Structure 1
Amino acid sequence: MHAFDVLGDPVRRRILELLAEGEQSSGEVTAVIRSEFGISQPAVSQHLKVLRDNGFATVRPQGARRLYAVDDTALREADAWLARFRRFWAPHLAAMATEVARGKRQRRLADEGRTDD
């Protein structure tokens, strides 16, 4: 399965977001995913398996629990593939950052002008 096929599923993307916050048990992941997506525990387990089998997550036993964490292997591969396309959006993001900084500066100067009155 290609990395973008794995990441194309909103449940798997959400699981990765949860795991990006730190290692979590399958029960913790299942509780969130069930409340947000309304899917069963076996379905969550299947999504965790897909993530694990495709290099996006690791699992380690801790007693009776299974703890999942992000594995950056597949993420690095996806990032390397995306690198050739960054030139299409990087300048736009840099321009946006400049405009945000300009707006913050203008607000700060306006606020300083109000305090001097």
Structure 2
Amino acid sequence: MIAGRVTGAVAAVGTALAVALAGPGVAAAAEGTFYVNEVPRFVDPDDYKCYALSWSDDDLLDNQTNRFAYVYRNRGCHRNDLVVVLLPSGSGSVDNSAQGSVQFRKQ
């Protein structure tokens, strides 16, 4: 009787693990690195996660990931604060210093 319970428990754990790893809710991540003035800031960042990002006047923001980088002038990645969208493997600069944020997306 105990062996049957253990086998059933192991099967249930295995099924739960398989669903967790293969389910549609699994988070994706960009591949590559986002730099500020050639200094790596984010490596393989998660899609849609909002990352704090600070920059100074004319800093070079270099998006060497396979995702679009949405750069915002304030923390929180709010749509109204969008400053620039950097293409995958694209770079650019922003005129004003900011305590902003960045989010990576497929598009």
Same fold (TM over 0.5): no
> Which structure has greater strand proportion?
2
Structure of higher CA gyration radius: 1
With normalisation by structure 1, the TM-score equals: 0.22
Q: Which has the higher contact order (CA 8 A, sep 6+)?
A: 2
Q: Which has the higher helix share?
A: 1
